[in-house]
Chains A and B, each alone.
Chain A
Amino acid sequence: MENATSSEAVHEGLSHAPVRVVSARIKLRARLHNLLQRRELLRNLVVSDIRIKYKGSALGLLWSMLAPAFTLGIYYLVFSVFLKNGYPNYVIFLFSGLIVWNLFQNAVNSATGVIVDRAGLVKKVSFPREILPLASVGSAVIYFLIQLGVLALFLVIFGHAPNWTMLAILPITFATLYLFASAVAIVMSAITVYLRDMKHLMEVLLQLWFWMSPVVYSYSNSLAPQIHRHGLTLLYFSNPMTLLVLTFQRAFYVQTDVHSLLAGHALLHMLPKWSATSFLYLNLGMFAIMCAVFLISLVIFGRLEGNFESEL
């Protein structure tokens, strides 16, 4: 849209203006190009999304911190106080995994119905439709960043130092998380147009998915020995959230072995003892896979969007 920035010179340059093609199939490269060109719209949608969400509420954006803080409090109370899991610094452990999960859940939950909800827009205004689910992911990223700030505050308050080497890996982990959440969001938003049940089904699936990821419990302590014995380790790690959560936990919770708070002070094996290099390679591998998954999600979306008009 550069040619539109100088209104007077619009016509002289028109013969050189890029040609846009509307046809039955938009090639993947063109799709990515369109998305990149409409960053401005994405930004606008994210901002308006957040503003509308908290419009008229007295606490506003504070809610995006209060809601997860409440969840955090409940889990802490249940698992640390009532069930006495004995994990030291359990809040840090829980929170470092929970922010990862929250990003994914917020993104997928709000993206699932987004195209159906904004049918009026989809049927009347031309823009790459993937922007709608991506804007849902964008809002989730904003909340994630706010919660990350709160986590940093917690680290300072509890005097808990993060692992600086692992911290350097986190940008890759975050990018992987973003791509994965976007891919699921894009595909789900399109499927929901055809199957309205998806919105409800997804809420149930996300619950299951949450407990299949090592957020509340420690993977190494509670699960690793058993699933290893049954040869299920690979299956467990086929859930991309597992590696992403573990990487965040390793960066912020740091300790792999801790002494239980309970009587006897037994040694708890909290996190895998992989080196930072191993984490780097695993994350890079996952990043590569998610790049492919993201592209595939765009292709699937492209196949499904052709009939949006007659289904909405």
Chain B
Amino acid sequence: MIDRLTEHRGLDSFDIRYVALIIAILGIGVLSIYSVTRGQQGGAAPYYLKQLIWIGLGAAAFLVMWASDYHHLARFAYPAYAFILLMLVFVLFDGRTSKGAQRWIALGPFSFQPSEFAKLILVLVLAHYYSKAPRVGWLQRVIVPGLLVLPGLLLILKQPDLGSGLSFVAVYAAMLLMVGIRSQALGFMLLFSIMLFPFAWEGLWGSLHDYQRQRIMAFVDPEYDPGGKGYHALQSKIAIGSGELLGKGLYGGTQSQLKFLPEGHTDFVFAVFAEEWGFLGVVVLLTLFVALIWLSLEIASKAKDQLGALLAVGIVAMLCFCVVVNIGMTAGMFPIVGIPLPLVSYGGSATIMTMAALGLLLNVKRKRLSLFY
């Protein structure tokens, strides 16, 4: 009864701040996409308009996730994971290739990227696993969930999609740390990884595609070969740096407007924004992200049960990882691995998935309120 009552509560000030932050970040994204693709015809509908459609669908996903009960959702974690694994297999055989990687499934005029949705489902799976029973011992805490992660990870790396693969590992690591591992287990893990490193390096480096290896090499010294492998990294740095304090103004970004900077509306949208709005704009955007993550962590710490807390932590970890790695790579701190900036980069699957994840977070918070009522 009490639960019922509380579920019909309206928005409180927390919710309003939370949603306002999301809308502000989305707005920055649409503006930047509009600016960089203004003169360009990406088919009949311009990119910013399509992004607005994705945001509309994302809002629907947000509301659905918010309105449902995460306990119910967690119960479907394993079947959903099995389904997404099937999709990932399907994508390998029948997916659409774009720039040398098979990531998309075509659905009529649309195509979607199962690896994006796989991340959210992984959070659900791990949260469900850890909260279902007390998992003790390093076998139950580390190895079993690791084996859960592995098939998805391998399928995503095979596409190849290094960025999504790394997010997978990040989510796993974050949740592991939250659950807590015995120092002994950590010791073993460290030991094993050091022992396995030479083999892993061989296997990993060998399995990377040429362009991935080149990008990692380019990260080491982009200036060495400005026309070749380090092109993206260097152009992105020039774009960000040339924005200086105040930026070049909307549409003023010569780097992006003159097509020196490739992928300006997707992975490198942060560079476009930084070029046009300068350091001040960057500080505003970073502040918005930090505030959103702060509120999300608030939800995690006040969650009613372990499932809720773990879900929240997993989602926050995923979000943080993408934000940090994306900004880091555009700013030349990390190699370019192809991770979009959540809520800002153009892309249907990523936008819808991120908004669904944020809706799920708010769902965790709503359940928490009912406890205190």
A and B are interacting partners: no
Interface residues of B (CB under 8 A from A): none
Interface residues of A (CB under 8 A from B): none
